[in-house]
Chain A
Amino acid sequence: MAITYLENGDVYDEYQMVHPEKGIFPFGCALVMNREQYEALTPEEIQKIKEDRYYSWYNQLMAASSIVADNSVIESDYVVIDESANTEVI
């Protein structure tokens, strides 16, 4: 994965991980932070942050996997912005 820079100058360090023991559960992520902050970190610290994010997500994944979805198939409710309602000329 590559390190790039966002328009505001922030570092965008993209990476992908799988569970190191299970070899599964792929996870794509990116560290986004101020460039000075990023460059002050050691490679080991950066790797630790990446792994922490992975495990944080993985733990949430495992915790969330007990929810029962409603079996009814429901169209998503959504909003079409009624532009005309708010186009009062001032």
Chain B
Amino acid sequence: MTTKYWRNAAGGAWATAGNWSLSSGGPANTTVPGAADDVIFDQNATYTVTFAGPLVVGLSISFQAGVVTFSHGTYNLQSRTWNISAGARLNHTFSSGYVLCGDGGSNAGTYNNNGTVVITATTTTTCFMQYGGTFNNNTGASFSITNTAVNGTQFYLLAAPTSGCDFNNAGTFTATNNSQTGAGVVFLSGNYNNTGTATWNYPAAAGTTGIQFSSAKNITALFGSSTFNMATNLNADAITFGSSPGSFTITLLDNLTITRRVSLVFNSLNLNGKTITCGQFTIGNSTGSKGITWNGGSIYATSSGSAFVNNTSAINAGTLTLAAGTGTGYIIFTNASAKTLSNTVLTWTYPCILGNSGGTLTVNKSTYGGLVAFSSGATFLIDNSNPISITNPGIVGDGTSIALQSTSASLTATISWVGSGNPAVNPAYTLTRIILFASGVYYYSFCTGFDLYSRYSNGAGGTTSSLTQTNSATCGYVPPPTYSVAAAVGNIDEGSNLTINATTTNVADGTTLYWTINHVTTSDADFSAVSGSFTITSNTGSFTVTPTTDFINEGPETFTVSIRTVSVSGTIVATTSSVTVNDTSTSLTIGFFGSFF
């Protein structure tokens, strides 16, 4: 093994022996570097190196200074190790071909960038680092890659179909893909570990797929501080997980937030407790295994319209696996306008909670392990041509309603709660409605608080008159009433009227409440009446209590007033503070008008 130095600061052909030396700045050598040599570029100059054919350029190739442009033409390069020092810059310009990291066989390579690497591709099919290994864009380093071919079809960045290529970015990374016609960057076949800054630019408005994870092994994805600058186009994926057939798992180590579509085509996606936020999420229809395991993770679909689409067809039914894993997973729809979860062919069970934070969500051909509506006004409409079953839904949200609709009279729509703990999240919300309806046969449910337990079919029990016009039944949750009562003043003279004011919440207008006197030191004889009733209107009501005038000097006396439901002997729901009766009695004085004789 020898170390050979590039000695021509004006640039030239790799294949010219005179461009090489056995020492830095030394005399020309008679041979070009071979597969067993190390190569160093240390000229502090700007120049271009050209290639005339496929080359094995050395065991290692290092760039220690200057700006070197490798004009690859139609040829390919291979070296086990690439090193770019801080301050050095290497430009790769491709019209086709690829750079191999490793030896293309069993020895994976390493690409270490501590300086600047700029890749510009102008062709339809270009590949960089096809044969795997590891690309380290280290702290302080810059790595950018641009596909300038507007009509490009494929551009592989770190694709290694057989061995996988890992990408560790701790520096600055920018990828720009101008293709408008075909697949974009097939990005990753190995682990993506971004602890630096990554920017993905996809300016084309149509037809461009962004990043494709084409797994060649089980991989992890740490998106970190990744920015996605893309046209708002949901006809093409921004990110495709599993773009090549396989049985590998892509595990998220961090969240992904993007406004465009995210798809799963092949392989398995392990959300791993992380969050994917995207405009639209689709599950592809291609023949091949695919799956999602939530493991406590979430998919947020932010668009209206077809926000979540499961295309899996009957022929591919056995290839899709939807698994809960550990923890509670979610699919959550956030758009305030109408949107759908579409299962285009088959009925699927989603082993997660389905959330809707507003607007109407229509779902078809689905069963769920959980169902939750988040925000005020959110509505689910589940339109199903098959029996629907929802168990243990946690219903949260003021004004939330769920409508289950079956299109055939022979199909049932059922919903059931188990236990008394639902909704688990926040029972303080009010007026949750559950509407179940089916053509011809009405199933409806009633609530006891939030505990929905039973259903009745039309004619089999329960009141159905309310169903006649709407073909639906509404289960209204009436929140528990509250009561308070207070005397208008804290003391009262005998013979005067004392106004007692009651204030309630969630008590219907016209409800009769009852009041009773509680004697502390008073007695029944001290009042004109010791009980009565009054009516609630707009959650208020009042009545008067009148201590009677007597002629007995009793001193001040005290009492309280309670209000009750049902009757004067009903449940006490509120009691006033103590009220004092001022003793205003006029003493009876017996005069002596006679004389003693």
Contacts of B127 on A, CB cut-off 8 Å?
Answer: 86
0 or 1 for each of B184-226: is its CB under 8 Å from A? (1 = yes): 0010010001010000000000000100101000000010100
The verdict on A57 contacting chain B, using a C-beta distance below 8 Å, is yes
Structural contact, A77 and B304, CB atoms closer than 8 A:
no
Structural contact, B274 and A28, CB atoms closer than 8 A:
yes
Structural contact, B284 and A57, CB atoms closer than 8 A:
no
B280-294 contacts to A (CB < 8 Å): 280, 282, 284-286
Bound together, the chains give a CA A27 to CA B159 distance in angstroms of 31
Structural contact, B168 and A8, CB atoms closer than 8 A:
yes
Structural contact, B375 and A68, CB atoms closer than 8 A:
no
Contacts of B303 on A, CB cut-off 8 Å?
Answer: 64-65, 67-69
Structural contact, A24 and B357, CB atoms closer than 8 A:
yes
Structural contact, A57 and B257, CB atoms closer than 8 A:
yes
The verdict on A74 contacting chain B, using a C-beta distance below 8 Å, is yes
Bound together, the chains give a CA A69 to CA B340 distance in angstroms of 10
The verdict on B309 contacting chain A, using a C-beta distance below 8 Å, is yes
Structural contact, B279 and A69, CB atoms closer than 8 A:
yes
The verdict on A60 contacting chain B, using a C-beta distance below 8 Å, is yes
Bound together, the chains give a CA A62 to CA B300 distance in angstroms of 11
Structural contact, A25 and B254, CB atoms closer than 8 A:
no
Structural contact, A73 and B342, CB atoms closer than 8 A:
yes
Structural contact, A29 and B302, CB atoms closer than 8 A:
no
The verdict on B156 contacting chain A, using a C-beta distance below 8 Å, is yes
Number of interface residues of A (CB under 8 A): 45
The verdict on B374 contacting chain A, using a C-beta distance below 8 Å, is yes
Partner among A28, A32, A71, A83 whose Cβ is within 8 Å of the Cβ of B224: A32
Structural contact, B304 and A68, CB atoms closer than 8 A:
yes
Interface size class of B (residues with CB under 8 A): 35 or more
Structural contact, B309 and A57, CB atoms closer than 8 A:
no
The verdict on B425 contacting chain A, using a C-beta distance below 8 Å, is yes
Which of chain A's residues has its CB closest to B373's CB?
A24
Partner among B55, B161, B275, B337 whose Cβ is within 8 Å of the Cβ of A57: B275
User: Within the complex, what minimum Cβ distance (angstroms) separates A77 from chain B?
Assistant: 6
The verdict on B536 contacting chain A, using a C-beta distance below 8 Å, is no
The verdict on A90 contacting chain B, using a C-beta distance below 8 Å, is yes
User: Within the complex, what minimum Cβ distance (angstroms) separates B508 from chain A?
Assistant: 29
Contact A78 B302, CB 8 Å, known A57-B255, A73-B311: no
Query: Which of A30, A62, A67 has most chain B Cβ within 10 Å?
Result: A67
Which of chain A's residues has its CB closest to B333's CB?
A65
Bound together, the chains give a CA A14 to CA B272 distance in angstroms of 11
Contact A69 B234, CB 8 Å, known A28-B274, A75-B285, A75-B286: yes
Contact A71 B253, CB 8 Å, known A8-B193, A24-B425, A32-B195: no
Partner among B54, B130, B255, B375 whose Cβ is within 8 Å of the Cβ of A24: B375
User: Within the complex, what minimum Cβ distance (angstroms) separates A44 from chain B?
Assistant: 22
Structural contact, B306 and A27, CB atoms closer than 8 A:
no
Structural contact, B396 and A29, CB atoms closer than 8 A:
no
Q: Is the interface of A mostly helix, strand, loop or mixed?
A: loop
Structural contact, B257 and A77, CB atoms closer than 8 A:
no
0 or 1 for each of A1-34: is its CB under 8 Å from B? (1 = yes): 0000010101010101000001111111110110
Q: Is the interface of B mostly helix, strand, loop or mixed?
A: loop
Which of chain B's residues has its CB closest to A28's CB?
B273
The verdict on B243 contacting chain A, using a C-beta distance below 8 Å, is yes
Partner among B186, B300, B305 whose Cβ is within 8 Å of the Cβ of A61: B300
The verdict on A79 contacting chain B, using a C-beta distance below 8 Å, is yes
The verdict on A70 contacting chain B, using a C-beta distance below 8 Å, is yes
The verdict on A42 contacting chain B, using a C-beta distance below 8 Å, is no
Structural contact, B304 and A69, CB atoms closer than 8 A:
yes
Contact A28 B54, CB 8 Å, known A8-B168, A65-B336: no
Bound together, the chains give a CA A27 to CA B297 distance in angstroms of 8
The verdict on A85 contacting chain B, using a C-beta distance below 8 Å, is yes
User: Within the complex, what minimum Cβ distance (angstroms) separates B75 from chain A?
Assistant: 9
Structural contact, B305 and A69, CB atoms closer than 8 A:
yes
Structural contact, A12 and B183, CB atoms closer than 8 A:
no
The verdict on B479 contacting chain A, using a C-beta distance below 8 Å, is no
User: Within the complex, what minimum Cβ distance (angstroms) separates A48 from chain B?
Assistant: 17
A45-75 contacts to B (CB < 8 Å): 57, 60-62, 64-75
Which of chain B's residues has its CB closest to A90's CB?
B54
Structural contact, A65 and B344, CB atoms closer than 8 A:
no
Bound together, the chains give a CA A60 to CA B100 distance in angstroms of 39
Structural contact, B214 and A79, CB atoms closer than 8 A:
yes
Supply 25 A–B pairs (Cβ within 8 Å), ascending by A.
A12-B253, A14-B273, A16-B296, A22-B375, A23-B426, A27-B275, A28-B297, A32-B222, A64-B302, A66-B304, A66-B335, A67-B304, A67-B335, A72-B235, A74-B235, A75-B284, A75-B311, A76-B282, A77-B209, A78-B265, A79-B183, A81-B189, A83-B162, A86-B98, A90-B78
Q: Give residues in B with beta carbon < 8 Å to A.
A: 54-56, 76, 78, 98, 100, 104, 125, 127, 130, 154, 156, 159, 161-162, 168, 182-183, 186, 189, 193, 195, 209, 212, 214, 222, 224, 232, 234-237, 240, 243-245, 253-255, 257, 259, 261, 263, 265-266, 273-275, 277, 279-280, 282, 284-286, 296-298, 300, 302-307, 309, 311, 330, 332, 334-337, 339, 342, 344, 355, 357, 374-375, 396, 425-426
Q: Give residues in A with beta carbon < 8 Å to B.
A: 6, 8, 10, 12, 14, 16, 22-30, 32-33, 57, 60-62, 64-81, 83, 85-86, 88-90
9 further A-B pairs in the complex, CB-CB below 8 A; given A24-B375, A28-B298: A12-B253, A28-B274, A67-B279, A67-B303, A68-B305, A75-B284, A78-B243, A80-B245, A81-B161
By Cβ-Cβ distance, the 5 closest A-B pairs, closest first, are A90-B54, A76-B263, A69-B305, A69-B303, A64-B302
